[in-house]
Structure 1
């Protein structure tokens, strides 16, 4: 599944499916303690590069932000509006990702994560999916040339040029929540993992691309006859 697409972009790691279950998969890795060990993106990296299965649970979601963005908790931590912007001297570190707390408020007023679909959010290599499993979405950890190819392919069968978006948000928003939201709308692809707070967890030349699973299957079916079999891409792909 998705092997044709994986081969066409010369992807050497695993495409990662996102699905939900009320059962913890046997042997799944889960969030640990500390910034990196508890980060969804750190787990995602291991799934993609090591081929393991990861589970983020209602009772073990790592950081509070992940619990909120994945729909396990309904509220962010106190003073989040200052945390994302200018901070509060002596109380809250400011990340400086929004200019003012008021802009954070405005952003959050139109931003509502979906409730968790089950007790566990599972990240699993696509190659390990069973016939019965129904992923919501899939994401790829890719180099810039591969990201470019996925962006072009996501627009290949559309009349316009907006088949992919790059929304502001956390790392786990970009690989889990935003594709969930797109399933209910235009099924656009997401340029993912641009969150500065998680960039240090990833190799410097790697970004993400996430998309509803049904759309990924359509993209796979569009590989034959597309630019992925033609001279310009074949020339670029030599350096992958």
Structure 2
């Protein structure tokens, strides 16, 4: 499907959903986007440096910048966000977005129970470092095919560019429409997954995992407490691979959106929600 057809289909889909915010596309490129939001260049990081005891995490954290935070800025300004190997911002985000492999052992403790005998007690999202290590090895993002991982509105893909994944930000009623359209398109009752992960893991890391497995699956995310500050109240993410998204758009004419179904009552709730949040302008 040509990019213009995707944009036209997206406009129709957004109207059906009652969604005003254009979804983002994500792709890998060797060209850094202009005026984009992203981390500053950080000190070099690697498992090798960590294993040799030559990685100063206090120095690393001086340039901390969350992937979700930069995406949040891009969303508000209708611009682009990026992460790269040198401009990584977050050691977890660098791994989930394919900017470094293997992951740092630090993250196994940071997300779980911290380091014994230190002030860092950990985020307590996983019960112990072993469980976190198992998760990291499971996700295991591929090596990035280009220098930059870029997130930007679909309408900003030009010159033959094509998104690898499409990311929606939506509250439950709109998410209902996205979920059902994915199921209607595939006939697969398990075509949407919600695994554990950081905000950027579910936005990109897990979608990459399923794509590498040859599985067309959408991923719901946003359950990471650390990412909630960079999302609207009640909002979640819905990432779908471009191949499945194109099929979802093609299936719209026969879907519930164009027939006399209960979606009409849900659509009214979408409008009430937008009005309640002052987003009906």
TM-score by length of 1: 0.91
In 2, the alpha carbon distance for the partners of 1:202 and 1:35 equals 23
Counterpart in the other structure of 2:25: 17
Give the one of 93, 107, 121 matched to 2:149: 121
Shift of 1:63: 1.0
Aligned-partner SS, 1:62 = coil
The root-mean-square deviation of aligned C-alpha atoms, in Å, is: 2.2
Larger Rg: 2
TM-score by length of 2: 0.78
Q: Alignment length, in residue pairs? A: 240
Specify which structure has the bigger relative contact order, considering alpha-carbon pairs within 8 angstroms and separated by 6 or more residues: 1
Shift of 1:142: 0.5
In 2, the alpha carbon distance for the partners of 1:53 and 1:30 equals 9
In 2, the alpha carbon distance for the partners of 1:27 and 1:86 equals 38
Query: Which blocks of at least 5 consecutive residues in structure 2 are unaligned?
Result: 1-6, 43-60, 271-281
Shift of 1:236: 1.2
Query: Which blocks of at least 5 consecutive residues in structure 1 are unaligned?
Result: none
In 1, the alpha carbon distance for the partners of 2:72 and 2:64 equals 11
Give the one of 204, 210, 232 matched to 1:203: 232
Aligned-partner SS, 2:253 = coil
Shift of 1:64: 1.2
User: Does the CA-based 8 Å contact 1:36-1:201 persist in structure 2?
Assistant: no
Give the one of 103, 107, 123 matched to 2:135: 107
Give the one of 34, 41, 44 matched to 1:26: 34
Note closer, same or farther for the CA distance 1:170–1:44 as it changes in structure 2 (3 Å cut): same
User: Does the CA-based 8 Å contact 1:15-1:48 persist in structure 2?
Assistant: no
In 2, the alpha carbon distance for the partners of 1:91 and 1:159 equals 50
| Richer in helix (by share) | 2
